[in-house]
DNA sequence: TATTAAAGGAGAATTATTCTCTTTAAGAAA
DNA sequence: TTTCTTAAAGAGAATAATTCTCCTTTAATA
């Protein structure tokens, strides 16, 4: 995603385009392994040394609220972030703190069909996300 | 689960049985809607007014590490806890911070069969948990 | 009952995040 | 382009959850 595409998606959500917002968005795209706010800050400060910590948190919040990024949570860790590019689930490594995306169209279709047929009484489903917990093989 | 059963499960994990550990475990069982550390503290202090905050956190940590309870995370919220009684998933309400358990044997069987057949290259699956996001119907 | 390693208590410290208040600048309008 | 308005950014204090340190107590075992 290029800088002007980022601008468009901000405008599309009725948000003002600012250098800080573009920087945060670019950082999340670049740091593609679910960076924390701190990772993002560290990366951005290379090019924007004076950006305020609170600004990065505010930008992450507004981007997440508008659905441009996702908040990802770990069992132990602080909040982490994820650009919303396509539907995917997450692989969580028990041993390390590694998180990877996992996309699986067949799985999604199966789940959609399942819940369409069954539903959950008293609850309207918006989204179903899998947390697949386990370990990455040593060779990785 | 009675107090002596809690004791047995602690012993079974090689843990010493202490009044504090029993109190924390009992609180999680009693406060069955995924209490936070603060909820647990508040509840325990009724009967154990002098328990140290750090003790509760340490007990939660050791119970979770030994697999006697689960850590549950919300998108926005602090860590919350859950007694491990059976396999279940979670319903997250977008509008409120409500979290409910969702058990579904058929779903579990379907997922187990799916991943048994397909697997994930380079990853050994230990557990698959669903986060079902949506809204509870008004009548609830 | 004496021993000892594990666990608990107290409170300071840390860390991620939010808040408050002021200043700046993006985007709309003149 | 300049002006205006309001959203956004900056700075840093405040907060809240959690962890740490160090000392004391106690559960389990001999």
Determine which of B123, B124, B139 to mutate to test the interface with A (most A C-beta atoms within 10 Å): B123
Mean pLDDT score of chain B, rounded to an integer? 88
Window 97-136 of A: residues touching B by CB (8 A cutoff) are 100, 102, 104, 106-107, 110, 114, 118, 120, 122-136
User: pLDDT tens digits for B71-120?
Assistant: 887 766 666 778 766 788 999 887 777 888 899 999 999 999 999 999 99
Q: What is the pLDDT of residues A29-79, one digit of tens each?
A: 998 778 999 999 999 999 999 999 999 999 999 999 998 998 887 766 666
Q: What is the pLDDT of residue B80?
A: 75
Q: Report residue A113 CA to chain centroid gap.
A: 25
Protein-to-nucleotide distance from the CA of A48 to the C1' of C18, whole angstroms: 22
Separation CA A71–CA A82 (nearest Å): 6
Total-model pTM: 0.77
The Cα A71–Cα B31 span in angstroms is: 27
Residue A96 has pLDDT above 90, yes or no: no
Q: What is the DSSP string of chain A?
A: --HHHHHHHHHHTTPPP-HHHHHHHHHHHHS-S--BHHHHHHHHHHH-TT--HHHHHHHHHHHHHTTSEEEE--SSS--EEEE-SS--EEEEESSS--EEEE--HHHHHHHHHHHHHH-BTTEEEEEEEEEEEEEE-TT-
Give me the pLDDT at residue B76, please: 63
pLDDT of amino acid B94:
77
- The full length of chain B comes to 140
């Amino acid at each position: 995603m290029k800088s002007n595409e980022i601008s468009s998606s901000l405008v599309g959500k009725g948000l003002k385009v600012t250098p800080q917002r573009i920087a945060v968005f670019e950082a999340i795209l670049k740091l593609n392994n679910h960076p924390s706010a701190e990772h993002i800050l560290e990366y951005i400060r290379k090019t924007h040394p004076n950006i305020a910590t609170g600004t990065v948190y505010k930008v992450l919040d507004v981007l997440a609220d508008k659905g441009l990024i996702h908040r990802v949570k770990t069992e132990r860790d602080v909040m982490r972030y994820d650009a919303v590019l396509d539907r995917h689930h997450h692989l969580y490594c028990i041993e390390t703190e590694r998180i990877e995306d996992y996309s699986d169209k067949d799985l999604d279709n199966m789940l959609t069909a399942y819940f369409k047929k069954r539903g959950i009484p008293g609850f309207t489903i918006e989204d179903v996300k899998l947390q697949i917990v386990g370990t990455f093989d040593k060779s990785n």
